[in-house]
């Protein structure tokens, strides 16, 4: 997320009480775990790093049956890290979603789309119909939609809004979201 919003990532690191060296070491350990030739599956990695999920529930996505696992995150108490896993444990999707019962943002106009304020699902519902676009990395998504008659594209990392462009121009929103 620091690729899009370094100032928010820096603020988040401070809120978590982590030094820059600790952040770099955590990233180094995670990258080593992900790239190891003896690497465990993604679901086992998440359980190892995040502990047991707060909740699990069966979920049907189209004709696919899977399990949805949710973990709380200290940085975002109103969000959960959701992993959708196949019956064999393969991870199909991993992203941030609104916590059950937590109110989402009120989204009526492109100017309401503040960085780190909304999830993919919230933007898709608020500005339906949307068109999914290819992201620039496996953990990134983009949605195209019209808002107030203007073409917009919202970009997300791990399902959390990072930036919005309207008529091809990025909105300048230095205001952090929730």
pLDDT, position 176? 42
Question: pLDDT tens digit string along 48-106?
Answer: 889 999 999 999 988 989 999 999 999 999 999 999 999 988 999 999 999 999 999 99
Chain center to CA of 17: 22
Cα R_g (the chain), whole angstroms: 17
Q: Any idea which of 64-68, 86-90, 153-157, 174-178 has the lowest mean pLDDT?
A: 174-178
pLDDT band at 30 (very low <50, low <70, confident <90, very high): confident
If you average pLDDT over residues 143-149, what whole number do you get?
95
């Amino acid at each position: 997320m620091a690729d899009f919003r370094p100032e928010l990532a820096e603020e988040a690191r401070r809120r978590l009480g982590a030094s820059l060296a600790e952040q770099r070491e955590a990233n180094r350990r995670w990258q080593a775990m992900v790239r190891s030739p003896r690497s465990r599956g993604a679901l086992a990695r998440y359980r190892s790093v995040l502990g047991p999920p707060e909740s699990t529930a069966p979920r049907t996505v189209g004709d696919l049956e899977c399990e949805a696992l949710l973990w709380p995150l200290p940085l975002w108490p109103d969000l959960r890290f959701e992993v959708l896993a196949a019956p064999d444990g393969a991870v199909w999707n991993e992203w941030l979603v609104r916590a059950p019962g937590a109110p989402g943002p009120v989204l009526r106009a492109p100017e309401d789309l503040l960085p780190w304020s909304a999830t993919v699902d919230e933007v898709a519902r608020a500005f339906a119909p949307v068109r999914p676009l290819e992201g620039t990395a496996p953990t990134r998504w983009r949605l195209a939609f019209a808002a107030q008659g203007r073409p917009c594209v919202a970009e997300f990392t791990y399902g959390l809004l990072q930036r919005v462009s309207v008529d091809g121009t990025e909105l300048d929103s230095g205001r952090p979201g929730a």
